[in-house]
Amino acid sequence: MDAIEIEGGARLTGTVEVSPAKNAVLPLMAAALLAPGRSRLRRVPRLSDVRTLARLLEHLGAGVEFGDGGLWVDAARVPGREAPYELVKTMRASVLVLGPLVARFGRARVSLPGGCAIGARPIDMHLKGLEAMGARVVLEHGYVEVTARRLRGARIVLDLPTVTGTENLMMAAALAEGRTVIENAAREPEVEDLARCLNAMGGRVRGAGSSVIEIDGVGELGPMDHLPVPDRIEAGTFLVAGALCGGEVTVRGARADHLDALVAKLKQAGARVDPVKDGLRVRGDGRARSVDVRTGPYPGFPTDMQAQFMALMAVGRGLSVITETVFENRFMHVPELNRMGADIRVEGGSAVVRGVRRLSGARVMATDLRASAALVLAGLVADGTTVVSRVYHLDRGYERLEEKLAGLGARIRRIRER
């Protein structure tokens, strides 16, 4: 298994480029199933989550090809209807094929995701929405089977602004009969990007990016040729790295309008963040000031940045309370950060972080995608050597993170562990 070895203490300077967003690419790949033709997604990052979804599309019978021009999905013929347990278990976002399959072919069978490392994460709202559109939902043997002759537009009010739920229903509604209105919809930039792409395919979606999305169903959609939005979580991770390690880092592709909540917190913590051509530049200067953070749905502070920000607060000046409101069990990085000398106590849905002067390098274990990134960040400022094992979590969502950080001057490399 691969691990990442970091020699702490290097200042970071230079420019780093973010890739298109994983969380945009996954729904877009699923959306390719809506169109009988050959779709292209440009500059798709080489991530294991992307490979997992590619495997699922192939399992369904679509053609998938990676090339210099991007990722091609040929959905002219898609005979399969099932997302099997092995793939959904590896990656929850596999449920994104549900909406497109039911909308275009009238049937889908998807394994229920079950619990995952960061919480229960059910898909009840995806299913209730499809039911409201006239689908029949049957749960059996750990699979959910959804059938509909043709979906009908409906008014759907989500209990919570679920991101993949909103995307699933938007894709389903794109080929439904009549108008669908999704209220309390997720407002994430990736939802907006999907809407933009659906519209370019001939769909009729309005309001994405706000909490009410209206979709007028059409009879057929054409293939896409789309460049997904830059990854705001990858960008945010580099901004935190810059703030943490001093020096000056330019994050090319970072979109200020997608990073408001994080940038506000970085500034409160004492980092300088300025817009530059095509991105953002961050300058860290000494220890950060401790600030409190509360995660929330977009445009709130992203739960996907909570762990990385905690690494910054771990060496902050003062006391920071980090409250997680999106997922109930997303503090698995805490014991690992404490093994590196951090002083963090979890109390219910909050982590109380007492900033320490220094962290010390240690062997630590990644437990999920963003927790792994937090451990890498902590390793960048810790004394001595840190080895982060189980890097396969990191490879799900970061493209060549160690190479990009090394390009900024970090002493970091991938090693093979026995």
The answer to whether the beta carbons of residues 53 and 94 sit under 8 Å apart is: yes
Minimum separation from the CB atom of position 130 to ligand UD1 (A): 11
Cβ proximity to ligand UD1: between 125 and 229 the closer is 125
Decide if residue 121 touches ligand UD1 (CB under 6 A): yes
Minimum separation from the CB atom of position 138 to ligand UD1 (A): 17
User: Using CB under 6 A, which of 58, 65, 86, 124 touches ligand UD1?
Assistant: 124
Decide if residue 183 touches ligand UD1 (CB under 6 A): no
Decide if residue 303 touches ligand UD1 (CB under 6 A): yes
**Among 142-150, 160-168, 354-362, 378-386, which window interacts with ligand UD1 (CB under 6 A)?**
160-168
**Among 81-89, 155-163, 247-255, 308-316, which window interacts with ligand UD1 (CB under 6 A)?**
155-163
* 245 among known catalytic residues: no
**Among 99-107, 156-164, 221-229, 312-320, which window interacts with ligand UD1 (CB under 6 A)?**
156-164
Report the candidate in 370, 290, 265 with the shortest Cα–Cα distance to residue 326: 370
Decide if residue 111 touches ligand UD1 (CB under 6 A): no
Minimum separation from the CB atom of position 23 to ligand UD1 (A): 4
Minimum separation from the CB atom of position 210 to ligand UD1 (A): 16
Decide if residue 119 touches ligand UD1 (CB under 6 A): yes
Residue of 116, 132, 319, 406 marked catalytic? 116
The answer to whether the beta carbons of residues 238 and 210 sit under 8 Å apart is: no
Total residues at interface with ligand UD1 (CB under 6 A): 21
Interface positions, 81-100, toward ligand UD1 (CB under 6 A) = 92-93
The answer to whether the beta carbons of residues 118 and 327 sit under 8 Å apart is: yes
Residue with tokens 């108008």: 179
| Residue 116: how many other CB atoms lie within 10 Å | 14
**Interface characters, 16-45, with ligand UD1 (x: CB under 6 A):** -------x--x-------------------
User: Using CB under 6 A, which of 9, 106, 122, 270 touches ligand UD1?
Assistant: 122
Decide if residue 126 touches ligand UD1 (CB under 6 A): yes
Minimum separation from the CB atom of position 43 to ligand UD1 (A): 18
Minimum separation from the CB atom of position 169 to ligand UD1 (A): 10
Decide if residue 160 touches ligand UD1 (CB under 6 A): yes
Decide if residue 259 touches ligand UD1 (CB under 6 A): no
Catalytic residues: 116
Chain residues that interact with ligand UD1, rule: CB under 6 A: 23, 26, 92-93, 119-126, 160, 162-165, 303-304, 326-327
